[in-house]
């Protein structure tokens, strides 16, 4: 398989300061702007796909910094971490390295909604990401600020009005050229910081605001629609000042479960894990909020903030008279700070202190305990309305420009990492002239995330929940490797062969074990004799196989293995996965038909440059306008649009069906030609369906 | 909680549903209701001839269980089956063995059938009692369900029996069927039954929301454990209510059969006079006072042999009178549900310049007809009443202008006072009703009832999945509520377009 060029030697270059002539002359395949969760995954993924990649970030030492909460995963988010890991991304392994408190949320609610989560050591996380990036072949990291995007005429063979050709850095030096650019600027797009009544430009406290040039290019030159969102971060609390006797201790899992499919254990030993503490707000907090409202310009404005990670002001105002949870989370093994999850606010510093001291365990807190960079502030920032993106996260109107992370209106590290990975994969493929790849919402949470973004857009910061996934019982954290790693290697090219081989081994072993379970068929009476009283229901003459037995609560795979050691003990490694599989398999079988239907729809792509307003089929003006505005990339996305009628979809289907046939024919001719030109060089080409 | 039934039986249940074991055995399994949208391979049936006056009605069956239907209901065992040959048989109820009718049956083995699947046709006598009995008998067979809108055609497309040009027409067909179903649903939804279903839906939505919240948020936020206990009770109540409803045959409202014709218009346009003229008796009170009719006056009529239900409604105007306002609301509701609307206009109220009349009428129509119908002039007749009050010369001008203009529904000029133009009007009405009656969709209550039953049964079965997994796996429990809501949503007709889309893309194999 052609995975592009430069497969050989490790090429590590870190450049600080002014850009050298060497760099300027160099042409990269992919440039990634931003070194947060989206940017780091994007850069690593592009390089894995085989692209010569340059990561440009304001400060090299903040690459991989956790700028908000020191934790990873959770319900829904944990699914994303598992999937990013299954596609050979960084955050799962980084979490295993940096985790200092592991727990699986929703443990009692069923494996489909388990939420693997960990508190992280900020320093260890940053170190892991940096050392991974700096040892990634084909990846160069450069410190600098991007002034503008370089644009040129579009490639007439492809849809779009512009083509990106590189970037210009802020210090006015020569441009750096690349075939594709991934923007992961987070909250820095026209970001402003709020604290009390003071406002300053910037995306994060302590960092310079990004240049206005990039914002300008996106809005004015590319004509992208942008919206505005807000977010915020809580203060940091000095550990020594906390009266822990007034908070309740929350212990981690006794045995940490790693995020990564490659890891069997975490770096942190079980007994070295640090606890979290839980406390609550008091009526005094509510009083402080109400009395200081006039001093708080962030909360007064009506920019959309998240409903699910709201500031303490919003929570208190929306649900008065209630206790609200505040978690005190460790910031690291050696850090003397705690992170009060649930206390983000934007008041003036002195009011912040008053409020914090209304919370019982924090009553001893003094002002000198808080540095400026450790106080709360709010951020308002621009995001690009993500309906302007393709499922490959490419800007539809601009060839080679990809966006990922908060710039697309999402919130959260995991959401950013997932998009970053997928944007990086596609940016790399674009640069290497490989067709784009998309993930379906039937196969992954990443697919759900991207489909929601590009076909529905966002009205508030988008966060992943398990309830967003229609096929939740099939898309589980435990089977992310089987869902994605094989495809990631065979079709996408972003997975190392080491990981692939492991996934193949797991798949084959699971298949063997399941076959062994299914082939062991016994009458209920015999099962009862073997396993004792496990609550097998009294149905006469019924026979059950091993899979059926595993669906019983009090039957474990270990029990079967000790009863039939020669059959099952070789598979003990997968006990838990087999038990989960046995319970979910019947439900997944039921869902499969529906999933296939959606996949069929999604395989039918609508040309991005389709002229809906003059399409020669019978469509109402209203439907034409909806289609023209949203430009769904597949028929599947079109059906999910509000205002589409069944008749319109049939008309569209028949039109696309007809033109599809024509195009496929001409595409095949082109390929034949290409094949001859390339002299037998095989390429991984995905034909449009 | 233990799974009460093992997976072996559970899987067996699907098997039973799809093949042909006696239906009482399906009662054994806890998960008999495989949600409709997930088992699209089933066998479907529908009345495919129009209702109303007809000598012979045709009931079509398509799918793998077609031969079962022939065997169980027409006694055609395998050796007796002859492809594409009409046989005169007694048609019996598969359970009671009671003879329902004597008629022709045909067998079309796939792929040489309209849908490409095994199909059967029952040509039976056209009376409503016979049709209902045969449809109910078919519905009682395992693996059989009433067809969804356009399903036969979609299966044909799926099997490659339709060309692409015919697909263009399919778009219009599906539109018409969706509309017909929507109106049918609306009619049934406005009574007690509708309120019952709506109430179930909203309670079920609440249940699902609570379970989902508990799954996604209970670890971080303060969501009391009590939430789930409430859901437990609600789900139990819902299940019990639905089961009671399914058992109690009398609860099903008698559905109005026949084409729904609604007379609508401004006050004092002569709507009640038109009703009285049509039924040749003073069914409604008429007076020169605007706002005489306040409630809906309904009369069953036989128009040229076709059953119709004629409703006279209150004149549409803003009124301070509470009673009249309610009348106007009901009138608008009726227009929304109508198969055919007779818009009555007082000629004397038309602009004196006849050239402006078409535009005036257009505006008038859009104030009366619901938005979806505005473009559908075929479901409307414009009746210009009181021609006796205008001059002959002006009348001729008006007729010329109306002929010239396009986009208006058929127009009839009449005078209820002198009966002038009545014959032409009756002819126009007759042809409209005939067209609607030829369309099996304009009201086939028994089929709708069968569909409701099927969805309710699925809903109840899906809810039992909630209980089965409530304590062991909340994700699977929530899945049960999700499926139940989907099933119920198919009755309440709330998400009609979306659902029809689902079916389209399930049945069409795109990208081949």
Q: Are strands A115-120 and A139-143 parallel, antiparallel or unpaired?
A: unpaired
Domain assignment present for residue B107? The answer is yes
**The domain containing residue A590 runs over which residues?**
509-601
Residue B13: is its pLDDT beyond 50?
Answer: no
Average pLDDT in chain A:
84
A636 touching chain B per CB within 8 A: yes
Pick the residue from chain A with its C-alpha nearest to B465: A587
Determine which of A608-612, B113-117, B347-351 has the lowest per-residue pLDDT on average: A608-612
Q: Are residues A253 and A365 in the same domain?
A: yes
Q: Is the pLDDT of residue A267 over 90?
A: yes
- Tokens 């109106």 map to which residue? B183
Q: A594 and B37: CB-CB below 8 Å?
A: yes
pLDDT of residue A2: 34
What integer pLDDT is reported at residue B169 of this predicted model? 57
Compute the average pLDDT of residues B67-73.
Answer: 91
Tell whether A294 and A339 lie within a shared domain. yes
Angstroms from B467 CA to nearest CA on chain A: 14
Is residue B37 situated within a structural domain? no
Which residue would you say has higher pLDDT here, B341 or A677?
Answer: B341
Higher pLDDT, A332 or A366: A332
- B158 assigned to some structural domain: no
Residue A157 has pLDDT above 70, yes or no: yes
Same domain, B193 and B324: no
Q: State which residue of chain B sits closest to A105, comparing Cα positions.
A: B219
Residue B488, domain CATH: 1.20.120.430
Over residues B371-376, the mean pLDDT reads 54
* Domain final position from A583, A601, A619: A601
Residues B455 and B437 in one domain: no
Cβ–Cβ < 8 Å for A252, A273: yes
Q: Do A597 and B221 touch (CB under 8 A)?
A: no
Q: Are B215 and A536 a contacting pair at CB < 8 A? A: no
Are the beta carbons of B171 and A591 separated by less than 8 Å? no
Number of domains chain B is built from: 4
A61 in B contact zone (CB under 8 Å): no
Q: How confident is the model at residue A324 (pLDDT cuts 50, 70, 90)?
A: confident
The owner of tokens 């709360």 is A376
Closest residue in chain A to residue B210, using alpha carbons only: A467
> What pLDDT digit, counting tens, does each position of B448-487 carry?
566 677 788 889 989 999 999 998 899 999 999 888 888 8
Are residues A572 and A615 located together in one domain of the fold?
Answer: no
Out of A325, A647, A648, name the one closest to residue B221 (CB). Answer: A325
pLDDT at B178 over 80: no
Q: Name the range with the highest mean pLDDT among A80-84, A346-350, B497-501.
A: A80-84
Q: How confident is the model at residue B191 (pLDDT cuts 50, 70, 90)?
A: low
Q: Are the Cβ atoms of A536 and B6 closer than 8 angstroms?
A: yes
Q: What is the mean pLDDT of residues B415-439?
A: 81
- Mean predicted confidence (pLDDT) in B180-204: 68
Q: pLDDT value at position A9?
A: 33
Q: Kindly determine whether residue A617 and residue B168, on different chains, have CB atoms separated by under 8 Å.
A: yes
CATH number of the domain bearing residue A519: 1.10.10
Q: Are A244 and A176 in contact (CB under 8 A)?
A: no
Specify whether B273 is located in the same domain as B414.
Answer: yes
Cα B266 to Cα B340: distance, rounded to the nearest angstrom: 17
Residue B284 shares a structural domain with residue B417: yes
Give the model confidence (pLDDT) of A551-561 as tens digits: 888 889 999 99
**What is the phi/psi pair of residue A384, to 5°?**
-90, 125
Residue B51 has pLDDT above 80, yes or no: no
pLDDT at B275: 85
Check residue A328 and give its pLDDT: 93
Q: Is residue A248 part of a domain?
A: yes
pLDDT of res. A213: 80
Residue A541 in domain? yes
Q: Do A473 and B511 lie within an 8 Å CB cutoff?
A: no
What is residue A667's predicted lDDT score, i.e. its pLDDT? Answer: 52
In terms of domains, do A616 and A553 share one?
A: no
Band of pLDDT at residue A539, cut at 50, 70 and 90: low
In a domain, B252, yes or no: no
For residues B7 and B468, give the distance between their C-alpha atoms in angstroms, rounded to a whole number: 12
Locate the chain A residue with the closest alpha carbon to B3. A552
Contacts of B10 in chain A (CB under 8 A): 586
Q: Average of pLDDT values for A155-180?
A: 86
A41-50, A388-397, B16-25, B323-332: segment of lowest average pLDDT = B16-25
Nearest residue in A to B473, CA atom: A110
- CB of A610 less than 8 A from some CB of B: no
pLDDT of residue A648: 75
Is pLDDT above 50 for A685?
A: no
Does any CB of chain B come closer than 8 Å to the CB of residue A171?
no
* pLDDT > 80? residue A251: yes
Number of domains into which chain A is organized:
3
Q: Which chain A residue has its CA at the smallest distance from B166's CA?
A: A654
Taking residue A42's Cβ as centre, other Cβ atoms within 10 Å add up to 39
- Evaluate if residue B509 carries a pLDDT over 70: no
Q: Which of A666-670, B30-34, B259-263 has the highest mean pLDDT?
A: B259-263
Give the number of beta-carbon pairs within 8 Å between A and B. Answer: 175
Write down the residue that tokens 């024509």 correspond to. Answer: A662
Residues B167 and B214 in one domain: yes
Please check whether residues B47 and B23 belong to one and the same domain: no
- H or E, element range at B93: none
In a domain, A164, yes or no: no
Cβ(A393)–Cβ(A416) below 8 Å: no
Query: In the prediction, which pLDDT does B190 show?
Result: 58
The answer to whether the CB atoms of A110 and B469 lie below 8 A apart is yes
In terms of domains, do A587 and A666 share one?
no
Residue in chain B closest to A660 (alpha carbons) equals B511
Closest Cβ–Cβ partner in B472, B478, B505 for A600: B505
Q: Which residue of B6, B171, B175 is in closest CB contact with A537?
A: B6
Contact: B222, A553; criterion CB under 8 Å: no
Is B155 part of a structural domain of the chain? no
Contacts of A644 in chain B (CB under 8 A): 497, 501
Compute the mean pLDDT over every residue in chain B, rounded to the nearest whole number: 73
For residues B174 and B124, the model is more confident at B124
Contacts of B216 in chain A (CB under 8 A): 75-76, 113, 465-467
Instruction: Give the pLDDT of residue A308.
Output: 54
Query: Based on the domain organization, do B67 and B193 belong to the same domain?
Result: no
Boundary-marking domain end, from B120, B147, B174 = B147
Both B423 and B455 in one domain: the answer is no
Residue A261 has pLDDT above 70, yes or no: yes
Instruction: Kindly state whether residues A555 and A672 are assigned to the same domain.
Output: no
Best of A440, A646, A660 to substitute, by most chain B Cβ atoms within 10 angstroms, is: A646
The answer to which of A83-92, A393-402, B161-170 has the lowest mean pLDDT is B161-170
Relative to beta strand B297-303, strand B306-312 is antiparallel
Q: Considering the domain boundaries, does residue A397 fall inside one?
A: no
Query: Which is more confident, B274 or B406?
Result: B274
A 265-294 near B (Cβ less than 8 A): none
Is B6 in contact with A548 (Cβ distance < 8 A)? Answer: yes
**Minimal Cα distance from B499: which residue of A?**
A646
Determine the distance in angstroms separating the CA of A411 from the nearest CA of chain B, rounded to an integer: 16
In tens, the pLDDT along B237-256 reads 999 988 888 776 543 434 44
User: Which of A601, A622, A639 delimits the end of a domain?
Assistant: A601
Choosing from B419, B442, B465, the residue where a domain stops is B442
Residue of B nearest to A323 (CA): B222
- Chain A hits for B38, Cβ within 8 Å: 590-591, 593-594
> Tell me, what's the ipTM?
0.80
The segment with the largest mean pLDDT, out of A646-650, B120-124, B349-353, is B120-124
CA angle B446, B450, B453 (to 5 degrees): 140
CATH code of the domain containing A644: 1.10.150.570
Radius of gyration over alpha carbons of chain B, in Å? 26
C-alpha span between B436 and A541 (Å, rounded): 56
Q: Are residues B432 and B321 in the same domain?
A: yes
Does residue A617 share a domain with residue A551? no
How large a percentage of chain A has pLDDT more than 70?
A: 85
Q: Which residues of B touch A551 (CB under 8 A)?
A: 3, 6-7
The answer to whether residue A617 neighbours chain B at the CB level (below 8 Å) is yes
The reply to whether A297 and A309 lie within a common domain is yes
Residue in B with minimal Cα distance to A592: B38
Greatest mean pLDDT among A251-255, A625-629, B390-394 lies in: A251-255
Q: What is the mean pLDDT of residues B358-365?
A: 85
pLDDT at B487: 82
User: Considering the domain boundaries, does residue B477 fall inside one?
Assistant: yes
Domain annotation covers residue B385: yes
CA angle A189, A193, A196 (to 5 degrees): 160
Residues of B in contact with A75 (CB under 8 A): 215-217, 219
The mean pLDDT of B255-261, rounded to a whole number, is 65
The lowest-confidence range among A466-470, B59-63, B215-219 is B215-219
Q: How much is the average pLDDT of B424-443?
A: 71
Q: Does residue A600 sit at the B interface (CB-CB below 8 Å)?
A: yes
Lowest mean pLDDT among A153-157, B184-188, B422-426: B184-188
Residues B228 and B263 grouped into a single domain? no
What's the CA dihedral at A405, A408, A412, A418 to 10 degrees?
-50
B3, B150, B216, B373: best to mutate for the A interface, most A CBs within 10 A: B216
Mark which of A601, A623, A648 sits at the end of a domain.
Answer: A601
Q: Rounded to whole angstroms, what are the CA distances from A158 to A37, A394, A404, B499?
A: 30, 13, 22, 35
Higher pLDDT, A162 or B158: A162
> Is A293 among the domain residues?
yes
**Are residue A242 and residue A331 in the same domain, yes or no?**
yes
Average pLDDT over residues A123-135: 95
Contacts of B164 in chain A (CB under 8 A): 654, 657-658
A167 pLDDT band (50/70/90 cuts)? very high
Inter-chain CB proximity A74 and B1 less than 8 Å: no
Q: Is residue B153 part of a domain?
A: no
Contact A600 B511 (CB under 8 A): yes
Range of the domain at B87: 42-147
Q: Which pLDDT value is given to residue A473?
A: 92
* CA nearest to B154 within chain A: A650
A 214-273 residues inside an 8 A Cβ radius of B: none
Cα separation of A575 and A578, whole Å?
5
pLDDT of A272 over the 90 cut: yes
Which CATH number fits the domain that encloses residue A274?
2.40.30.260
Whether the per-residue pLDDT at A610 is higher than 60: the answer is yes
Q: How far is CA A688 from CA A13, B131, B503, in A?
A: 38, 48, 24
Share above pLDDT 90 across residues of chain A, in percent, rounded to a whole number: 46
* Residue A668: predicted pLDDT: 52
Give whichever of A41-55, A151-165, A219-233, B235-249 has the largest mean pLDDT: A41-55
Three-class DSSP labels, A297-337: HHHHCCCECCCCCCCHHHHHHHCCCCCCEEEEEECCCCCCE
Q: What is the mean pLDDT of residues A657-677?
A: 55
Which residue from A56, A118, A109, A62 is spatially nearest to A85, judged by alpha carbons? A118
What's the CA gap between B354 and A585, in Å, rounded?
72
Closest residue in A to B209 (Cα–Cα):
A467
Query: What's the pLDDT at B497?
Result: 28
Q: Token pair of B76, please?
A: 């055609």
The pLDDT of residue A17 is above 60: no
A371 and A243 within one domain: yes
- Cβ of residue A652 closer than 8 Å to a chain B Cβ: no
- The answer to whether residue A419 is domain-embedded is no
Same domain membership, residue A338 and residue A289: yes
Mean pLDDT of A371-384: 76
Q: Which of A5-14, A85-94, A659-668, B54-63 has the highest mean pLDDT?
A: A85-94
- Above 80 in pLDDT, residue B267? yes
Q: Of B147, B172, B198, which residue sits at a domain end? A: B147
Same domain, A561 and A645: no
Q: Where does the pLDDT of residue A211 fall: very low under 50, low under 70, confident under 90, or very high at 90 and above?
A: low
Q: Which residues of A touch B476 (CB under 8 A)?
A: 110, 112, 473, 583-584, 587
For A508, the 3-state DSSP assignment is helix
User: Chain A, 85-124: which have a CB under 8 Å from a chain B CB?
Assistant: 105-106, 108-113, 115
Contact residues, chain B, for A111 at CB < 8 Å: 473, 475
CA distances from B99 to B20, B95, B128, B436 (A): 21, 11, 16, 31
Check residue A401 and give its pLDDT: 97
What is the 3-state composition of chain A as percent helix, strand, coil, each rounded to the nearest 5? 45, 20, 40
Angle at A217 between CA A212 and CA A220, to 5 degrees: 105
Please indicate whether, in this complex, the C-beta atoms of A650 and B10 are within 8 angstroms of each other.
Answer: no
For residue B456, give both structure tokens.
Answer: 């309710």
Residues B136 and B197 in one domain: no
Confidence (pLDDT) at A301: 55
Of A104 and B326, the one with more pLDDT:
A104
Lowest mean pLDDT across A81-85, A180-184, A304-308: A304-308
What integer pLDDT is reported at residue B39 of this predicted model? 35
């Amino acid at each position: 398989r052609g995975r592009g060029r430069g497969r050989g030697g490790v090429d590590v270059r870190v450049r600080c300061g002014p850009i050298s002539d060497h760099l300027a002359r160099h042409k990269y395949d992919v440039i990634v702007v931003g070194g947060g969760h989206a940017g780091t995954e994007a850069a690593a993924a592009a390089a894995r796909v085989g692209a010569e990649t340059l990561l440009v970030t304001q400060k090299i030492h903040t690459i991989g910094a956790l700028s908000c909460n020191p934790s990873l995963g959770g319900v829904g988010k944990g699914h994303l971490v598992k999937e990013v890991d299954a596609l050979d991304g960084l955050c799962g392994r980084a979490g295993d390295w940096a985790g200092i408190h592991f727990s699986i949320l929703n443990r009692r609610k069923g494996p489909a909604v388990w939420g693997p989560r960990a508190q992280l050591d900020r320093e260890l996380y940053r170190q892991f990401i940096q050392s991974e990036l700096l040892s990634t072949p084909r990846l160069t990291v450069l410190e600098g600020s991007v002034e503008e995007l370089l644009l040129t005429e579009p490639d007439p063979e492809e849809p779009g009005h512009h083509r990106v050709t590189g970037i210009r850095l802020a210090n006015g030096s020569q441009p750096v050229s690349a075939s594709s650019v991934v923007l992961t600027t987070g909250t820095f797009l026209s970001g402003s910081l709020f604290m009390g009544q003071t406002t300053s430009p910037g995306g994060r406290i302590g960092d310079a605001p990004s240049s206005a040039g990039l914002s300008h290019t996106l809005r004015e030159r590319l004509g992208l629609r942008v919206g505005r969102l807000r977010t915020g971060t809580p203060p940091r609390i000095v550990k020594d000042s906390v009266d822990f006797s007034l908070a309740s201790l929350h212990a981690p899992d006794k045995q940490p479960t790693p995020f990564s499919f490659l890891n069997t254990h975490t770096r942190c030993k079980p007994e070295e894990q640090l606890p979290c503490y839980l406390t609550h707000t008091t009526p005094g907090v509510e009083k402080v909020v109400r009395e200081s409202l006039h001093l708080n310009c962030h909360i007064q404005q009506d920019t959309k903030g998240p409903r699910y990670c709201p500031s303490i002001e919003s929570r208190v105002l929306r649900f008065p008279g209630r206790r609200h949870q505040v978690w005190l989370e460790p910031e690291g093994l050696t850090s003397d700070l705690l992170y009060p999850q649930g206390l983000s606010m934007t008041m003036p510093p002195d009011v912040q202190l008053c409020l914090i001291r209304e919370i019982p365990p924090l009553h001893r807190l003094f002002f000198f305990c808080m540095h400026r960079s450790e106080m709360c502030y709010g951020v308002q920032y621009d995001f690009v309305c993500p309906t302007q993106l393709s499922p490959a996260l490419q800007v539809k109107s601009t060839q080679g420009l990809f966006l990922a992370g908060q710039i697309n209106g999402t919130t959260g590290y995991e959401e950013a990492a997932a998009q970053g990975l997928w944007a990086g994969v596609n940016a790399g493929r674009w640069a290497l002239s490989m067709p784009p790849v998309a993930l379906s919402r039937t196969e992954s949470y990443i697919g759900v995330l991207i489909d929601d973004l590009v076909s529905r857009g966002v009205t508030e910061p988008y966060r992943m929940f398990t309830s967003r996934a229609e096929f939740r019982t099939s898309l589980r954290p435990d089977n992310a490797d089987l869902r994605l790693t094989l495809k990631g290697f065979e079709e996408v090219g972003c997975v190392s062969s080491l990981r692939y081989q492991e996934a193949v081994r797991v798949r084959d072993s699971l298949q063997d074990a399941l076959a062994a379970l299914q082939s062991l068929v016994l009458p209920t009476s015999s099962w009862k004799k073997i396993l004792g009283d496990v609550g097998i229901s009294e149905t006469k003459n019924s026979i059950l196989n091993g899979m059926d037995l595993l669906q019983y609560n009090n039957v474990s795979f270990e029990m079967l293995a000790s009863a039939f050691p020669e059959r099952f003990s070789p598979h003990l490694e997968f006990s838990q996965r087999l038990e989960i599989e046995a319970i979910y398999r019947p439900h997944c079988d039921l869902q499969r038909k529906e999933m296939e239907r959606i996949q069929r729809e999604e395989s039918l792509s609508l040309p991005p440059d389709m002229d809906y307003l003059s399409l020669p089929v019978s469509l109402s003006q209203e439907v034409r306008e909806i289609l023209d505005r949203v430009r769904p990339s597949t028929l599947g996305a079109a059906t999910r649009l509000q205002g589409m009628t069944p008749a319109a979809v049939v008309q569209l289907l028949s039109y696309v069906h007809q033109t599809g046939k024509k195009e496929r024919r001409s595409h095949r001719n082109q390929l034949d030609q290409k094949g001859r030109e390339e002299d037998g060089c095989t390429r991984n080409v995905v034909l449009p369906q | 909680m233990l799974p009460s039934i093992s997976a072996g039986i559970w899987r067996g249940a699907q098997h039973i549903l799809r093949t042909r074991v006696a239906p009482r055995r399906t009662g054994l399994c806890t998960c008999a209701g495989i949600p409709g949208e997930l088992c699209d391979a089933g066998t479907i049936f529908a009345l495919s001839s129009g209702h109303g006056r007809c000598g012979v009605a045709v009931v079509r069956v398509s799918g793998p269980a077609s031969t079962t239907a022939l065997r169980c209901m027409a006694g055609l065992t395998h050796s007796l089956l002859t492809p594409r040959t009409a046989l005169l048989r007694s048609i019996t109820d598969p359970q009671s063995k009671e003879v329902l009718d004597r008629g022709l049956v045909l067998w079309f083995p796939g792929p040489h059938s309209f849908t490409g699947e095994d199909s059967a046709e029952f040509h039976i006598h056209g009376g409503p009692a016979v049709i209902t009995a045969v449809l109910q008998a078919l519905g009682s067979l395992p693996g059989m369900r009433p067809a969804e809108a356009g399903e036969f055609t979609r299966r044909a497309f799926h099997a490659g029996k339709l060309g692409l040009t015919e697909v263009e027409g399919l778009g219009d067909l599906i539109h018409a069927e969706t509309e017909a179903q929507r109106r049918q649903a609306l009619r049934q939804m406005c009574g007690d039954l509708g309120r019952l279903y709506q109430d179930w839906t909203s309670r079920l939505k609440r249940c699902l929301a609570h379970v989902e919240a508990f799954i996604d948020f209970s670890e971080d936020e303060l969501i009391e454990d009590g939430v789930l206990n409430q859901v437990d009770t609600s789900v139990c109540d819902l299940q019990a209510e639905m089961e009671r409803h399914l058992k109690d045959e009398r609860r099903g409202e008698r559905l109005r059969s026949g084409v729904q014709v609604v007379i609508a218009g401004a006050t004092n346009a002569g709507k009640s006079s038109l009703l009285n003229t049509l039924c040749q008796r003073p069914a409604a009170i008429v007076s020169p006072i605007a706002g005489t009719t306040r409630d809906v006056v309904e009369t069953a009529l036989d128009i040229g042999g076709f059953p119709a239900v004629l409703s006279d409604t209150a004149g549409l105007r803003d009124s301070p009178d509470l009673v009249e306002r309610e009348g106007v609301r009901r009138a608008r509701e009726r227009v929304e549900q109508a198969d055919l609307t007779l818009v009555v206009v007082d000629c004397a109220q038309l602009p004196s310049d006849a050239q402006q009349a078409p535009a005036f009428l257009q505006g008038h129509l859009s104030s009366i007809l619901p938005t979806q119908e505005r473009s559908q002039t075929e479901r409307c007749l414009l009746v210009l009443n009181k021609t006796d009050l205008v001059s002959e010369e002006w009348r001729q001008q008006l007729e010329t202008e109306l002929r010239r203009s396009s986009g208006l529904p058929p127009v009839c000029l009449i005078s209820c006072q002198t009966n002038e133009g009545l014959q032409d009007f009756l002819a126009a009405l007759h042809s409209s009703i005939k067209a609607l009656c030829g369309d099996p969709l304009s009201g086939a209550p028994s089929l709708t009832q069968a569909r409701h039953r099927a969805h309710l049964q699925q809903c109840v079965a899906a809810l039992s999945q909630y209980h089965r997994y409530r304590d062991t796996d909340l994700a699977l429990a929530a899945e049960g509520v999700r499926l139940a809501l989907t099933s119920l949503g198919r009755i309440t007709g709330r998400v009609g377009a979306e659902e029809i889309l689902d079916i389209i893309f399930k049945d069409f194999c795109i990208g081949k």
